[in-house]
Amino acid sequence: MNDVLHALGMSAGILFLVVVVIIIVSMAAVNRGALAHTEAESHALDESLPAKEPAAAAAGAKPAKPGLPAGDEINVPMILALGLALFVLSVAALMLLSLIEHLG
């Protein structure tokens, strides 16, 4: 029974670190989204004001799409892949720790 509690304690310690990393990444993503949202609102306010550009330049240019650049978008498959990678790493760390304990 003592070995089971020891193993559960170690796995809880590893999973705690994974949860901390997930929380930090989530906070960064939320802050980034909030920043992009406020920038989009400020662009919308700027577009409602009269344009100060020459009419010829404004007629030929397409309006910029507010938000993140195309390379910086976070999509669902990327989140799933990162979650799967964290899960595999935590299981591999547990297996390695178990192997080290049994050999020692």
Q: How far is CA 81 from CA 30, 56, 87, 88, 92, in A?
A: 19, 46, 10, 10, 16
State pLDDT tens for residues 2-37: 888 888 888 888 888 888 988 898 888 888 888 888
pLDDT of residue 48: 64
What integer is the mean pLDDT of 28-54? 74
Q: Is residue 63 within 8 Å of residue 47, measured between CB atoms?
A: yes
Q: Is residue 68 within 8 Å of residue 43, measured between CB atoms?
A: no
State pLDDT tens for residues 61-89: 555 555 545 566 778 788 888 889 988 99
What integer is the mean pLDDT of 41-59? 60
> Dihedral through CA 41, CA 65, CA 72, CA 84, nearest 10?
80
pLDDT of residue 52: 55
